[in-house]
A and B are shown apart, each in its own frame.
Chain A
């Protein structure tokens, strides 16, 4: 069922090869409301490569790109939409980063070895995790399991990468029985600054990260269980080479308790209730930077409590209904403290302590009209309340004439997905309308410096909500050994929130270019497509091709910033028994459609070659895996259009990884 569902939706060819590897985890199969596109990260390519950086797992998702500010915690972009327009959740939990510069997306507080999948959806169900943003992205962690016979298993991994000497050490143990399951995992990673293709060290690209996670399940009866989860993530000494500051410490504490029940009835009802909380502490400073005019600290914090209830059941043979109710409370703050020599320190609240309360409800009806035609309709409404709690913050913004920045918003979103699978090909059409409440920075941010365009950004509590209209289509055609897919989309956003220069204001940041206020543009649109092809030449040898293109502009015809150029990935794989080889090429075209007001310049295209080899050895009943990766074989000097500050990427790099399973 799941398999069919996946194949019918937006699946890139690269994943087709892995569908057969999706583990037969009965819980996940039943828990369909969790996933729209499931991309299994337990594939060889991911779990045994130590060369990928934290947060890079999303690379696997077609349509995803990254904005890079350093060598850590890249900001995900989905079909040209940046983090503001994404609702990223972890196991359905809302987590709000504590960094005013978007250096701590939710993806940075998890570890690859603890991820089981990432669900991304633009067309359908993207609001399923408690928001009405145009894009939803849910990270699913690995869970404890129940097994008939008690089992004890584990994994361990050590890897070393050589350009920007980096260590990866990961391990996990799983205990499972029919009544109780426990999974504990840990991961430590670090890296020194790397060298670019010209052999120059790129300063401030180092990082250190420790992640510990525990998940426990206890079966209350044959059809119900409770589950507890805790994640600790500590990162420190993280360089952000494209920014004027680094991160001295980023800490996340994430915990939840949930109750699951399958009703023993013909309707196959399922209920999940979860309560959760998380704390984020994030400290930026510039103590290690040479030649700063004055030392500066920017600490921030975010605390969230929330809960949700999901219920699903079948209505007869044809229909399946899902109902969700969720709510959260978030409070966040960030300060800036500057320490001039022989003068009193300067202080301001870049995010004055503010709260956001949200409640939402959603209903979804999935109908199978014939074997070849099914539809999904859904509707969601959210109520949000934003309040600035800090008196200091209120005084700050009183300067700009905002007396009461508190606001309430009611958002609506809804959509329709039609899947049609005639025998010659599969295709689907989805339409979605959604509304987005501006982010904390967009509403209440106070002189937030953007290193890309060199402007200080001011929040605007009077912003209108964004209304977005999405239309996407996907077509797939399968021959015996060949699969082709094409997915065009268009995304039209009314009241597009964008920074507009106010030339009457003097810049706060030393060396800055000016001050921008967030304003509503009339509209902006993003369109493009993804295309893929997969050819299984022999049982062992396969070729994959992925291509994506985006075109975006605002109502004045100015290109939107941070839009990736045409990109192509080509991969040839050999996989047989214990052996795995791969040669891969990442190709990007020039990007000449740039937004100079946003500090962008044109970016040259590049061609990068990578290769990997892996061998699995059986040691008794255990598995030992040895893997070697080589990246950027030609030692090309390059950067991507979405890399801030034209900071070169790593030149030639190699990594060795040894892993075992018991």
Chain B
């Protein structure tokens, strides 16, 4: 996914701020630095990985290796609506992968990515704690149980309607 120029500048500045004062010899700081970047930006962009690798004098591919090894790191900016598909045991047994495929097909992205308009991002999570409602999807903080591919369509449609209404509401207020 392509980042805007503005995002790149913010990423570079944030990284430099966080790296300032970090001991170049202390490679143990690599993960804490990456975590701080993610805390600030919500993801770890490529420019950050290159800068961090340079700072600690390790090959950039090693930093990339760390980022792809740990689930907690994101490579793409999160969307306005974060769709989390539960992959816990109960949800798995009740066909969570079918739900995942439905979202991927509908949003035209794969897990870990964000749609081009930055509206939705898709991720897999471990158990969210309401196994009786399996398979479960959490959109932002809202829990949706007993998911089916048709309900995926329904949720997206409802969301689009809400958005349209909000837009019209704004237009009415302006008049």
A and B interact: no
